[in-house]
Amino acid sequence: MNDAQAAANWNYPTTIWFGAGRIEELPQACAQAEMKNPLLVTDPGLSKLPPVVSSIDILRKAGISVTCFSDIKPNPVGTNVLAGVSAFRKGKHDGVIAIGGGSAMDAAKAIAFQSGQTLNLWDFEDSDENWLKANSEKISPIIAIPTTAGTGSEVGRVAVIVKEDEQRKVLIFHPRMMPQLVLLDPKLTLGLPPHITAATGLDALAHALEAYCAPSYHPMADGIAVEGMRLIKQWLPVAYAQGDNIEARGHMQVAATMGATAFQKGLGAIHALSHPVGALYDSHHGLTNAVFMPYVFAFNRPAISERLPQLAAWLGLNASSENEAYQALLNWMLALRRELAIPHTLTDMGLDASQIDRICHMAALDPTAGTNPIPLNQENLKEIYLAAMNGTLHHH
């Protein structure tokens, strides 16, 4: 494709207030989003911890009434969303504050979206133009406050919800699901244990890497993706080793937001495989991405080779040819996974091949499959899955 003749539609994210201690400005954020009676949505593990407890305290001191809803699973399910919508309507709330990692964000965005709809949640699955069926006037405003540096869901227009009767992750999309305002306060991530820091940080890396490798024309996303990867390369090992390093935590939070800003360009096989695995095995999304990453990178090599020297250069890796750039990037990825104690294979994660046909069927249909650099089908997805089970990486 001749880039100069490309036609493309680009959207860029929302208002972001970044800095340590900015959670104190939550009342001003509510005023800006015109919320007087927000529903605070978080996960059960966080509901008794400082980020949520202090947020509620800050709001109440400012005279803003708030109710907390935390009945959500690590991979949120449809019934969690319905329970949240019912709490939202019962409390006559006028907005949602999402505090937490990806699961809290997904649930909160779906609740804010669904709170004003009459159609079923699943009617808005991200395919064709389903989002046009929504009553967009009735979508409630969202303030997002991430406590992990991972999904970047705070700048996304999608909520990922498990449809239990089909054991399938469904992407619900609407442009107005984008939070109106994001508070990025690195202090809120200080309590993350090392293994969660690692898994969420590698989720952010998977976003930036897949976005960079996606084939469409989007130089703005590419620029954000490479700098996000550079920040992760420099700061994720530091955040992992020194959990109280506020500088490392801050850089990682921004890198995660950048990863999700970049991935509107597209994702690929890492996510296409991770979604069904997460739906069927309830595995951690970031960890699953981290395990698949090098196998998908190796699989996509023929289609992405010419883009790798630029990426290697930006990451400060020494490489003078496409071949050297590929090897240097793969070696860095593998070394980083080792340093962060990520399992090398699906087998090490406790998974097997018993559901491989079902997983690869679901992966081929996943919305993220469409932007992989090499077109995906059940056969080549099986190839990747088996490589990730057996730890097969062809070193040339």
Residue 33 near residue 95, CB atoms below 8 Å: yes
Domains and CATH numbers, the chain: 15-189 (3.40.50.1970), 194-390 (1.20.1090.10)
Contacts of 128 (CB under 8 A, 6+ apart): none
**Mean pLDDT across the stretch 274-283?**
92
pLDDT above 80 for 11: no
Strand 142-146, strand 39-41: pairing: unpaired
Positive or negative, the Cα torsion across 60, 64, 70, 76? Answer: negative
- Give the torsion through C-alpha atoms of 336, 356, 368, 123, to 10 deg: -140
pLDDT tens digits, 218-277: 999 999 999 999 999 999 999 999 999 999 999 999 999 999 999 989 999 999 999 999
Which of 100, 216, 190, 97 is CA-nearest to residue 151?
A: 100
**Would you state the structure tokens that stand for residue 284, as one six-digit string?**
């951690």
**Mean pLDDT across the stretch 62-74?**
96
pLDDT tens digits, 96-140: 999 999 899 999 999 999 999 999 999 999 888 999 999 999 999
Q: Give the helix ranges, DSSP H, for 183-218.
A: 194-213
Q: Which residue has the higher pLDDT, 191 or 276?
A: 276
CA dist., res. 327 & res. 368, Å (int) = 26
Q: What is the mean pLDDT of the chain?
A: 94
Which DSSP category does 39 fall into?
E
Strand partners of residue 41: 69, 98
User: What 3-state DSSP class applies to 191?
Assistant: coil
Residue 393 near residue 295, CB atoms below 8 Å: yes
Strand partners of residue 68: 40
**Would you state the structure tokens that stand for residue 288, as one six-digit string?**
């699953």
138 φ, ψ (degrees, to nearest 5): -95, 5
pLDDT tens digits, 367-386: 899 999 999 999 999 999 99
Contacts of 396 (CB under 8 A, 6+ apart): 323, 327
pLDDT above 50 for 396: no
CA dist., res. 358 & res. 171, Å (int) = 18
User: What 3-state DSSP class applies to 229?
Assistant: helix
Residue 228 near residue 204, CB atoms below 8 Å: yes
pLDDT tens digits, 158-183: 999 999 999 888 999 999 999 999 99
